[in-house]
C-alpha cells in the first residue's frame, strides 16, 4: 500500500531532522517560494512575465538603459507590495535554526524583499541585492531607503547623481565579497537546505553542487520537484510555512 503524501512527508521530515541533528554547520539557499505565503509573488509562476512586464525589460542593464522610469516604476511597485507584507512561519523557522547553530549557520538568499532580516535572521547574504537599497551612479553610495516610493527618477541626496535599484540584474555579476562568503558557507556546511527556489538561476544554483562536492546532505523544501531535486538526499514537499516549522520542531 503506497504511503499517502502526508505519510511521505512525515517520513521525510524524520530523515531530514535526523541528518540535521547530527550537523555541525548548516547553510540555507532560499528563493521566492519562502516569501510566497507572505504574499510576495514568485518569479516563474508567471512564466517569465512579472507584474505584467517582461523580465528582460525591468531586470536587466539593457532594460534600464532603454527605460529607467519603467524600471523604477516596477521596483516601486514591488517596494509597495513588500511594505504591506509580513514574514511568515517559514522565515521564523529559519530564525530558530540560526539560534541553534549560531555562527555555524548561514542564510544565502536570492530574495530582495528583506523578509529574512525582518523576521530576525542575522547572518543573511543577499546575493541578488535588496529592494530597500539604492545605489548612486555618481558617487556609488549604497543607501537603505526603506520601502517608501522613490518616484521614477530619484536623485542622490549627496551628489545629485542618478540612483538605480541596488539589485543584481540578469547579465550582471554578483558582489564579489558576498558571493565568496556564500560559496565558502556552502563549501564548509555539512547540511544544505534548498528552500523555495526553482534552482534555475546561476550562479546561485551552483551552491548545491558546491555543497554536495564536500559531502554535505542536501535537503530540498519546496511545493514541487525542481532542478535541484535530483541532487537532494531528501525532499520536504509542501508549503515552506508549514514544513519548515515542522522540521524545526523535530530538532529539539
Chain residues that interact with ligand BV8, rule: CB under 6 A: 31-33, 36-37, 42-45, 59, 110-112, 128, 167-173, 196-198, 200-202, 222-224, 226, 239-240
88 binds, among ligand BV8, Zn ion, none (CB under 5 to 8 A by kind): none
Of the candidate spans 33-41, 113-121, 156-164, 198-206, the one that interacts with Zn ion by CB under 5 A turns out to be: 156-164
Nearest distance, CB of residue 201 and Zn ion, angstroms:
29
Under DSSP, is residue 17 helix (H, G, I), strand (E, B) or coil?
Answer: helix
Under DSSP, is residue 42 helix (H, G, I), strand (E, B) or coil?
Answer: coil
Under DSSP, is residue 206 helix (H, G, I), strand (E, B) or coil?
Answer: helix
Nearest distance, CB of residue 134 and Zn ion, angstroms:
9
Residue 89 parent element (H or E):
helix 89-101
Grid look-up 516601486 returns: 76
| Nearer residue to ligand BV8 within complex by CB, 99 or 170 | 170
Of the candidate spans 57-65, 149-157, 197-205, 213-221, the one that interacts with Zn ion by CB under 5 A turns out to be: 149-157
| Nearer residue to ligand BV8 within complex by CB, 182 or 190 | 182
158 binds, among Zn ion, ligand BV8, none (CB under 5 to 8 A by kind): Zn ion
| Nearer residue to Zn ion within complex by CB, 144 or 158 | 158
Q: Is 183 within 8 Å of 211 (Cβ atoms)? A: no
Q: Is 131 within 8 Å of 146 (Cβ atoms)? A: no
Please name which of 32, 77, 82 lies closest in space to residue 51, comparing C-alpha atoms: 77
Nearest distance, CB of residue 41 and ligand BV8, angstroms:
8
Q: In this structure, what C-alpha cell is assigned to residue 197?
A: 527556489
Residue 49 touching Zn ion (CB under 5 A): no
Please name which of 205, 183, 193, 177 lies closest in space to residue 116, comparing C-alpha atoms: 193
Catalogue the active-site residues: 128
Amino acid at each position: 500500500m503506497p504511503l499517502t503524501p502526508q505519510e511521505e512527508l512525515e517520513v521525510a521530515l524524520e530523515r531530514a531532522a535526523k541528518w540535521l541533528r547530527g550537523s555541525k554547520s548548516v547553510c540555507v539557499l532560499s528563493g521566492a517560494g519562502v516569501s510566497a505565503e507572505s504574499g510576495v509573488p514568485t518569479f516563474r509562476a508567471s512564466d517569465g512575465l512579472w507584474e505584467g512586464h517582461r523580465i528582460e525589460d525591468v531586470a536587466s542593464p539593457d532594460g534600464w538603459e532603454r527605460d529607467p522610469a519603467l524600471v523604477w516604476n516596477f521596483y516601486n511597485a514591488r517596494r509597495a507590495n513588500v511594505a504591506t507584507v509580513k514574514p511568515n512561519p517559514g522565515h521564523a523557522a529559519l530564525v530558530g535554526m540560526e539560534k541553534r547553530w549560531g555562527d555555524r549557520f548561514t542564510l544565502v538568499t536570492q530574495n530582495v524583499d528583506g523578509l529574512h532580516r525582518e523576521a530576525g535572521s542575522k547572518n543573511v547574504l543577499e546575493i541578488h541585492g535588496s529592494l530597500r537599497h539604492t545605489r548612486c551612479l555618481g558617487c556609488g553610495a549604497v543607501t537603505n531607503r526603506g520601502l517608501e516610493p522613490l518616484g521614477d527618477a530619484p536623485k542622490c541626496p549627496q551628489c545629485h547623481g542618478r540612483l538605480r535599484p541596488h539589485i543584481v540584474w540578469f547579465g550582471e555579476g554578483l558582489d564579489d565579497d558576498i558571493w565568496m562568503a556564500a560559496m565558502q558557507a556552502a563549501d564548509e556546511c555539512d547540511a544544505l537546505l534548498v528552500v523555495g527556489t526553482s534552482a534555475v538561476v546561476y550562479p546561485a544554483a551552483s551552491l548545491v553542487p558546491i555543497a554536495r562536492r564536500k559531502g554535505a546532505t542536501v535537503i530540498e523544501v519546496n511545493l514541487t520537484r525542481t532542478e535541484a531535486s535530483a541532487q537532494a538526499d531528501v525532499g520536504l514537499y509542501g508549503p515552506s510555512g508549514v514544513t519548515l516549522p515542522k522540521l524545526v520542531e523535530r530538532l529539539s
